[in-house]
């Protein structure tokens, strides 16, 4: 329908957009006619370092490539949305951005040819841009397995991976995502941002005892920092995980595990979060770090965002403790989740 709009209407659309470079590019991916009108204007607009747009279709990819010209050389962060794109289109589009450092995929997925499956071996393998170190998958957990399947050996330089999803085995893509997490190599920081589904009867146990258990992450070469954002799920999940992790966590190369607990009172089952925390820590043989110094290779476990005053003994110990006989360091610090996610998800 846009192909038949009068030129005056198209000019009016352009005037409304003004100098918004990202919006101009997004409009240019809608149809060839809009691209022809918008392309000359891009050279007069300041190019941002971050770009948000839907991935152009395979049919419009050549037009979009011509429209962008050399401007992708300036883009450091790219946010793509949508689903059912072919791997070839996706990787061809990424290749336009040689200096890309951060890639955000929102509700994104690949489509496959007829008679193809998620587990079939692709005929062609690809590489990510050589400067790309950060990958954020927002409600797109299946993309981790899809990327692993289509990347050639050595085709990834990722160091920081963020995944936001409903972490439950009732979600079909979660199992393949976890298998791909085990195969990550060279990733220093892994962030799992949990959403919640009240209709899922198994989600509490899946998150606290099966999916987020640190043993799952022991095989990731180079992984030093694990972040678990449980701020949007009921407090019982965070408390159950805290109990299991503190007592049973195996030896591993992780240096730091951050757990973000709920800050909203509505997510705490009792009226006093301090009592709920005290009940969780009961029987763990905690002691003051000044009395029992860490003696093992266990990661430092940091609980962030606790909403109430801590139990008295933790306050006396300086908001930290050690679990005997393993020397597992446990501390409570302020919540800085917004600062953690701002750098990678904010459009520059």
pLDDT digits (tens, 9 = 90+) for 31-86: 666 666 666 666 555 666 777 777 877 777 777 777 777 778 888 899 998 878 88
Query: Is the CATH number of domain 49-346 3.40.50?
Result: no
Task: Determine which of 19-23, 130-134, 196-200, 339-343 has the lowest per-residue pLDDT on average.
Answer: 19-23
In angstroms, the CA 82 to CA 330 distance is 41
User: Angle at CA 103, nearest 5°, toward 40 and 259?
Assistant: 150
Summary mean pLDDT of the chain: 80
Work out the average pLDDT over 95-104.
Answer: 92
307, 273 contact by CB (below 8 A): yes
1 pLDDT exceeds 60? no
Domain boundaries, the chain: 1-46, 49-346
User: Which pLDDT does position 121 carry in this prediction?
Assistant: 62
Instruction: Name the pairing type of β-strands 189-195 and 77-81.
Output: unpaired
Render 74-97 in DSSP notation, one character per residue: G--EEEEE-S-B-HHHHHHHHTT-
pLDDT reading at 115 higher than 60:
no
């Amino acid at each position: 329908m846009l192909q038949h709009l009068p030129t005056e209407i198209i000019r009016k659309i352009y005037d409304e957009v003004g100098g918004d470079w990202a919006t101009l590019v997004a409009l240019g991916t809608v149809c060839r006619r809009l691209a022809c009108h918008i392309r000359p204007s891009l050279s007069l607009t300041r190019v941002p370092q971050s770009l948000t747009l839907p991935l152009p279709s395979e049919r419009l990819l050549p037009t979009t490539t011509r429209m962008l010209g050399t401007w992708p050389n300036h883009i450091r962060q790219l946010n793509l949305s949508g689903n059912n794109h072919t791997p070839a289109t996706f990787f061809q589009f990424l290749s336009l951005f040689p200096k890309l450092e951060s890639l955000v995929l929102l509700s994104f997925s690949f489509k496959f040819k007829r008679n193809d499956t998620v587990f079939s071996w692709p005929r062609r393998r690809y590489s990510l841009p050589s400067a790309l170190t950060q990958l954020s998958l927002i409600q797109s957990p299946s993309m981790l397995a899809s990327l692993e399947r289509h990347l050639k050996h050595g085709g990834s330089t990722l160091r920081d991976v963020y995944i936001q999803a409903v972490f439950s085995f009732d979600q079909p893509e979660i199992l393949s995502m976890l298998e791909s997490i085990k195969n990550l190599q060279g990733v220093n920081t892994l962030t799992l941002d949990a959403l919640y589904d009240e209709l899922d009867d198994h989600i509490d146990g899946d998150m606290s005892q099966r999916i987020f258990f640190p043993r799952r992450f022991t095989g990731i070469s180079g992984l030093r920092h694990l972040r678990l954002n449980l701020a949007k799920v009921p407090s019982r999940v965070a408390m159950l995980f805290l109990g299991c992790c503190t007592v049973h966590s195996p030896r591993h190369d992780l240096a730091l595990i951050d757990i973000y607990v709920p800050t909203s009172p509505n997510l705490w089952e009792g009226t006093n979060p301090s009592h709920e925390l005290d009940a969780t820590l009961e029987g763990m043989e905690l002691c003051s770090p000044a009395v029992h110094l860490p003696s093992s290779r266990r990661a430092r476990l940091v609980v962030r965002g606790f909403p109430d005053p801590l139990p008295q003994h933790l306050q006396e110990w300086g908001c930290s403790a050690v679990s005997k006989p393993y020397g597992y360091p446990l501390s409570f610090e302020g919540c800085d989740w917004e600062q953690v996610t701002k750098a990678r998800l904010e459009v520059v």
